[in-house]
């Protein structure tokens, strides 16, 4: 018998059996209801999700083993990754349907991508998820994440390969990517702009590319800073420079966080955009990926508490978590669209901006949890979304 979701989205079950899809949804629900990736906590919600009677004699240990077995099936070393890749494909198709539902507005604004990493350790094993997100209505929506299995910064080659893999699922051409200081490198810049067709604004460290900046004619790097210091009105200064045979705009602007730990007097940006002012204003959006990580971790699902070991299992966990996060964002955005007067604002003095007292994510999660309290409810809920969803133009099925 076909799974109800397959009637809406046939690609989901091309390789993934109905019972495996049910297990996937059960895991997602338990993590959401427990608000934790720690399976020892998530197990307490298995009975509720599966609709077991209160006097059911199934032991908590059995529920825990059920969740553990799901991730054990994702082990790929002995199985050539068969089940793992089927799981990934199924989660991608469902997530793409949710993304299509969330982002179906016909905005002509340039799509903004955010790149950053979050790192921690699981029983001594280094974990670092390099993560790519897209911004919609001021919220970062996760698209793709890869565990680099190390604590240090990613290399240019790793990032290029990461974007190639992500590009198999999404079309990023003509989008704008924002990145922090660790995502630099001449070959990386060239690959973004020339090979992938992606515009970018990336923050630079204070002491790099001085030779190219000074050799480009006009004011030197130090003279640019001096002019900005002397001017009370001027907010930024820029010039064209060449790196690896490609022209970019180098921008220096005042740092709103100057004086804080690890913060310089100025922000140094490299961009493919013609307008330095646009580059500065767009870069401010980068903070939203930090908000995303906070919701996945301490403010939401306690990602760092996971005890799932091994790259492949963790990547499945991350995909599931991102799907649940997308569902919460969907509900939060819909709530504030229906009830705009419910928005209450507070001042974030560290960044100099106003933020919602109840974030889109937190508001949406409160609405989502009762809607997916049982497996039957979850199936009907997702089926209703996928029935009316349109795959975004930048998404590949």
Dump pLDDT digits (tens) for 225-274. Answer: 999 999 877 789 999 999 999 999 999 999 988 878 888 899 999 999 99
**Does the pLDDT value for residue 283 go beyond 60?**
yes
Dump pLDDT digits (tens) for 50-80. Answer: 987 565 667 788 889 999 999 887 554 445 5
d(CA 163, CA 279): 22
Dump pLDDT digits (tens) for 124-133. Answer: 888 899 999 9
With beta carbons less than 8 A apart as the criterion, state whether 236 and 309 touch.
no
Q: Residues 6 or more apart from 109 whose CB is under 8 A from it?
A: none
Q: Is the dihedral of CA 91, 93, 96, 97 positive or negative?
A: negative
Instruction: Write the burial class of residue 345 (CB in 10 Å: 0-12 exposed, 13-18 middle, 19+ buried).
Output: exposed
The distance of Cα 178 from the centroid of its chain, to the nearest Å, equals 13
d(CA 244, CA 258): 31
Q: 270 has which bridge partners?
A: 202, 250
Instruction: Tell me what the mean pLDDT of segment 109-115 comes to.
Output: 90
Could you tell me the two tokens for 115? 């790149």
**Does the pLDDT value for residue 326 go beyond 80?**
yes
Name the more confident of 264 and 17: 264
Give alpha helix (H) positions in the chain.
Answer: 4-8, 18-34, 39-42, 46-50, 60-72, 82-102, 156-167, 186-190, 210-214, 221-230, 276-283, 287-296, 311-338, 360-371, 375-388
pLDDT of residue 195: 96
Could you tell me the two tokens for 213? 């900046």
Could you tell me the two tokens for 66? 């059920």
Could you tell me the two tokens for 307? 């005890």
Q: Hunting for tokens 């190219």 — which residue is that?
A: 212
With beta carbons less than 8 A apart as the criterion, state whether 180 and 286 touch.
yes
Could you tell me the two tokens for 191? 């690959």
CATH superfamily ID and name for 112-288: Transposase Inhibitor Protein From Tn5; Chain A, domain 1 (3.90.350.10)
Cα–Cα distances in Å, from 11 out to 3, 14, 322, 387? Answer: 12, 5, 20, 13
**Does the pLDDT value for residue 317 go beyond 70?**
yes
Name the more confident of 340 and 90: 90
Instruction: Write the burial class of residue 328 (CB in 10 Å: 0-12 exposed, 13-18 middle, 19+ buried).
Output: buried
Q: How confident is the model at residue 396 (pLDDT cuts 50, 70, 90)?
A: low
HEC states along 333-391?
HHHHHHCHHHCCEEEECCCCEEEECCCHHHHHHHHHHHHCCCHHHHHHHHHHHHHHCCC
pLDDT of residue 264: 87
pLDDT of residue 308: 87
Q: How confident is the model at residue 108 (pLDDT cuts 50, 70, 90)?
A: low
Could you tell me the two tokens for 363? 């508001």
pLDDT of residue 6: 64
Q: Residues 6 or more apart from 333 whose CB is under 8 A from it?
A: 102, 137, 139, 360, 364
End-to-end C-alpha distance for the chain, whole angstroms: 24
Q: How confident is the model at residue 89 (pLDDT cuts 50, 70, 90)?
A: confident
Residue 312: name the closest of 105, 81, 7 by CA.
81
pLDDT of residue 111: 92
Dump pLDDT digits (tens) for 177-224. Answer: 999 999 999 999 999 999 999 999 999 999 899 999 999 999 999 999
Dump pLDDT digits (tens) for 153-174. Answer: 899 999 999 999 999 999 999 9
Percent of the chain, pLDDT > 70? 86
Domain boundaries, the chain: 4-102+317-350+362-388, 112-288
């Amino acid at each position: 018998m076909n799974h109800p979701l397959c009637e809406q989205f046939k690609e989901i079950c091309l390789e993934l059996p109905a019972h495996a899809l049910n297990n996937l949804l059960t895991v997602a629900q338990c993590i959401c209801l427990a608000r934790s990736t720690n399976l020892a906590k998530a197990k307490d919600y298995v009975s509720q999700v599966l609709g077991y009677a209160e006097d059911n004699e199934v032991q908590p240990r059995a529920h825990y083993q059920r969740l553990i077995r799901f991730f054990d099936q994702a082990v790929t070393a002995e199985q050539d990754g068969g089940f793992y890749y089927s799981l990934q494909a199924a989660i991608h198709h469902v997530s793409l349907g949710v993304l299509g539902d969330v982002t179906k507005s016909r905005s002509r604004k340039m799509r903004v991508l955010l790149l950053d990493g979050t790192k921690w350790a699981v029983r001594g094993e280094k974990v670092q998820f390099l993560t790519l997100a897209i911004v919609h209505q001021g919220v970062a929506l996760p698209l793709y994440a890869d565990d680099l299995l190390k604590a240090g910064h990613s290399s240019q080659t790793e990032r290029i390969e990461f974007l190639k893999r992500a590009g198999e699922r999404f079309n990023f051409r003509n989008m704008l990517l924002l990145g922090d200081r660790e995502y630099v490198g001449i070959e990386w810049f060239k690959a973004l702009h020339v090979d992938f067709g992606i515009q970018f604004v990336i923050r630079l460290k204070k002491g790099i590319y001085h030779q190219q900046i000074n050799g480009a004619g006009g004011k030197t790097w130090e003279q640019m800073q001096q002019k900005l210091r002397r001017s009370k009105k001027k907010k930024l200064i820029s010039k064209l420079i060449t790196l690896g045979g490609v022209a970019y705009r180098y921008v220096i602007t005042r740092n709103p966080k100057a004086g804080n730990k690890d913060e310089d007097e100025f922000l140094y940006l490299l961009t493919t955009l013609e307008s330095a002012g646009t580059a500065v204003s767009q870069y401010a959006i980068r903070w939203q990926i930090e908000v995303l990580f906070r919701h996945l971790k301490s403010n939401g699902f306690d990602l760092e508490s996971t005890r799932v070991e091994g790259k492949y299992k963790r990547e499945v966990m991350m995909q599931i978590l991102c799907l649940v996060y997308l569902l919460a964002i969907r509900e939060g955005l819909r709530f504030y669209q229906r009830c705009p007067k419910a928005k209450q604002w507070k001042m974030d003095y560290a960044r100099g901006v106003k933020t919602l007292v109840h974030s889109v994510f937190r508001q949406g999660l409160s609405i989502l949890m009762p809607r997916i309290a049982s497996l039957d409810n979850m199936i009907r809920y997702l089926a209703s979304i996928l029935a009316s969803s349109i795959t975004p133009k930048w998404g590949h099925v």
